[in-house]
Amino acid sequence: MSAKIRLYVEHPLGAGQSVPLDRGQAHYLFGVMRMTVGGQVKLFNGTDGEWLADVAQAGKRAGVLTCVEQTKPLQMPPDLWLLFAPIKKARTDFIVEKAAEMGAARILPVQTDFTNSERIRQDRLQAHAIEAAEQCGGTYVPQVDDLQKLSRLLDDWPEGRQLMFCDEAEVGNALQLIAQGGASRPRAEAERPPMGADGRCPAYRPGKETQPGSWAILIGPEGGFSEAERKRLHALPYSHVVSLGPRILRADTAAVAAMTLWQQTLGDW
Amino acid sequence: MSAKIRLYVEHPLGAGQSVPLDRGQAHYLFGVMRMTVGGQVKLFNGTDGEWLADVAQAGKRAGVLTCVEQTKPLQMPPDLWLLFAPIKKARTDFIVEKAAEMGAARILPVQTDFTNSERIRQDRLQAHAIEAAEQCGGTYVPQVDDLQKLSRLLDDWPEGRQLMFCDEAEVGNALQLIAQGGASRPRAEAERPPMGADGRCPAYRPGKETQPGSWAILIGPEGGFSEAERKRLHALPYSHVVSLGPRILRADTAAVAAMTLWQQTLGDW
């Protein structure tokens, strides 16, 4: 029987390596899942790939696993950050879970002019990212940052990182164009994917031989961006404005949709 | 002040048309939102576009609105069905909400060999689709079908409808290719979008002048498809197998990602 359970551990992994379990993991494996000595799980720690491991000691509050063999190499996601303004709890959890599944390298909750929340539970969101990586077969866990002001992040923006800015106000433009021109409307600049300036679709380049470089996706809050924010974001030399279709998407939907477009066009899909 | 509340009503809409409210809507508008006579809301019914309406009568259990002017024409989504195998309640609700936001024309819950659920609450899911349309600014509400067997649906498959089949087993293939070839791996057939056989990216055709025709997207259950199902789905002349990247996506994530790819490539984005 192949090992179905995947666990993230903060411990080096390698052939013959002993890995102690913390109390929660021991309870889950031996209490909830009823595993016993000789059972097998898969482990990953974000740096050493995925390893098959045997249960060597099983107790109620502790346990030890022994690494047998590597089952996957470390697969780093592309250098993609997801910036989003926290919303209601369940949808914020969802965005973090989805970002980890979709292959974001780092998750940055940001405070915008219209963001309601003053604080987030960084530890809880990080746990969500770990659980998503355990579920989705990933060998990497994106770091979840603490909440920071978008304006300050832009002040110290890292050189060379491109920004895909999902401006919901562009949706309105798309709507008007549809109303005016129907299906044969000219595609507005903002509707085009920000990549492939040569007119070819990068997704069709054999093997995507070019590296996408460093990117970030910014998803706005439910109330949208303020006029000052939009003005600044549009003026940034590294920002690429995209529209996500003619309907208004909730922030959690927009996050998944934007990451799909990016992964399909520039990423590892 | 512009009307921010959007309501779906099952009533004809037109200039000067009176629209009675049901008890739940009256309670929401006048009890919860504290609207009074003269207040304004936006209405849509799935066929007559969106209308601005004045509150003409406001009571605790009833009310009447009067249509003033059309604010949006009817915007039909592309002819895209979403087929999915129901999963846990919250994630099933989520899939229906997202399908409505993303512009599916019809939502069909299907029973597969590995689907756990025997029944769904069709009325509750339809209500979710309506609420999503109210929120996302759409003028169309996708119909949610009752649960049916995938095999029977395929037996009576409508002529000319293409099927985008998201086969999670293809994820394994993609993973192997990555492990073998790194970033410069040859793109497997299954990784290419199913459209654009001419080698061009349809998303770049000016105005998408060609109609996408009739399509359906099929998202598998959490346990995946059975071997018999996969064999049948791969052999269908109208099926197009796609992979959704190297990580395993939960069914709800896969639904949003697959609809994004379809809308961007063939749909109304």
Question: Which chain A residues contact residue B98 at CB under 8 A?
Answer: 253
Residue among A261, A222, A203, A248 nearest A86 (CA): A222
Q: CA angle, corner A69, sides to A98 and A39, nearest 5? A: 80
Residues B34 and B138 occupy one common structural domain = no
Is A60 found in the same domain as A98?
no
Tens-digit pLDDT profile for residues A28-73: 999 999 999 999 999 999 999 999 999 999 988 899 999 999 999 9
Q: Does some domain include residue A45?
A: yes
* Per-residue model confidence as pLDDT tens for chain B (269 residues): 467 899 999 999 999 999 999 999 999 999 999 999 999 999 999 999 999 999 999 988 899 999 999 999 999 999 999 999 998 888 899 999 999 999 999 999 999 998 877 789 999 999 999 999 998 889 999 999 999 999 999 999 999 999 999 877 664 333 222 222 222 222 333 333 333 333 333 333 334 445 678 999 999 887 789 999 999 999 999 999 888 888 888 899 999 999 999 988 887 77
- Domain-embedded: residue A59: yes
How many structural domains compose chain B? 2
Instruction: Give the pLDDT score at B2.
Output: 65
Same domain for B239 and B148: yes
The structure's pTM equals 0.81
CB atoms near residue B255 (< 10 Å): 27
My answer on whether B131 and B252 are in the same domain is yes
Tell me, yes or no, whether A243 and A259 share the same domain: yes
Give domain status of residue B1, yes or no: no
- Mean pLDDT computed over A74-83: 94
pLDDT of residue B116: 76
Q: Could you say which of A28, A48, A72 is where a domain stops?
A: A72
Give the pLDDT confidence of A113-169 residue by residue, as tens digits.
988 777 899 999 999 999 999 988 899 999 999 999 999 999 999 999 999 998 776
* Token representation of residue B141: 């509400």
- Chain B contact probe: residue of A260, A261, A262, A263 with most B CBs at under 10 A: A260
Q: Is B203 within 8 Å of A209 when comparing Cβ atoms?
A: no
Chain B's closest residue to A266, CA to CA, is: B183
- The reply to whether A86 and A198 lie within a common domain is yes
Q: Which of A1-15, A185-199, A221-235 shows the lowest per-residue confidence on average (mean pLDDT)?
A: A185-199
Q: What is the pLDDT of residue A210?
A: 56
Whether residue B245 and residue A102 make contact (CB cut-off 8 A), yes or no, is yes
Whether residues A138 and A248 share a domain: the answer is yes
User: Which CATH number covers residue B226?
Assistant: 3.40.1280.10
Using CA atoms, how far apart are residues B205 and B208, in angstroms rounded to an integer?
5
Do the domain assignments include residue A1? no
A261 in any annotated domain: yes
Residue A61's pLDDT is: 87
**What span, in angstroms and rounded, lies between the C-alpha atoms of B269 and B265?**
8
Residue B200: alpha-carbon gap to chain centroid: 26
Predicted pLDDT of residue B196: 35
Q: What are phi and psi of B51, to 5 degrees?
A: -125, 140
- pLDDT for B221 equals 84
Answer yes or no: do B264 and A269 touch at CB < 8 A. Answer: no
Residue A49, SS3 per DSSP: coil
Q: Determine contact, residues A152/A169, Cβ cutoff 8 Å.
A: no
Whole-angstrom Cα distance, residue B131 to residue B136?
9
| A181 and A142 within one domain | yes
Q: Does a structural domain hold residue B223?
A: yes
Query: Quick check: is A244 in a domain?
Result: yes
**Per residue in A37-67, is it b (16+ CB within 10 Å) or e — as a string?**
eebbbbbbbbebbbbbbebeebeeeebbbbb
Instruction: Select from A72, A101, A129 the last residue of a domain.
Output: A72
Residue B27's CATH number:
2.40.240.20
Same domain, B89 and B62: no
Same domain, B58 and B85: no
Given B29, B48, B72, which residue is the final one in a domain? B72
How many CB atoms neighbour CB B214 within 10 A? 17
Cβ count within 10 A of residue A220: 26
Tell me the C-alpha distance between B37 and B63, whole Å. 9
Is residue B68 domain-shared with residue B125, that is, in the same domain? no
Whether residue A180 has pLDDT greater than 80: no
- Are residues B141 and B170 located together in one domain of the fold? yes
Q: What is the pLDDT of residue B180?
A: 27
Distance to chain A for B217, nearest Cα, Å: 16
Yes or no, beta carbons of B183 and A207 under 8 Å apart: yes
The residues, any chain, with a CB within 8 Å of residue B123's CB and separated by 6 or more, are: none
pLDDT at A260 over 70: yes
Asked, for residue B13, whether it belongs to a domain, the answer is yes
What tokens does B114 get?
A: 């590995």
- Of all residues in chain A, the one with the smallest CA distance to B188 is A207
pLDDT higher than threshold 80 for residue A25:
yes
Which site among B164, B200, B256, B261 would you substitute to test the A interface, given the most A Cβ atoms closer than 10 Å to its Cβ? B256
Domain that holds residue B190: 80-265
Contact across the interface for B247 and A184, Cβ inside 8 Å = no
Q: What is the pLDDT of residue A105?
A: 96
Residues of B in contact with A246 (CB under 8 A): 75, 103, 268-269
Cβ pair A201:B206 closer than 8 A: no
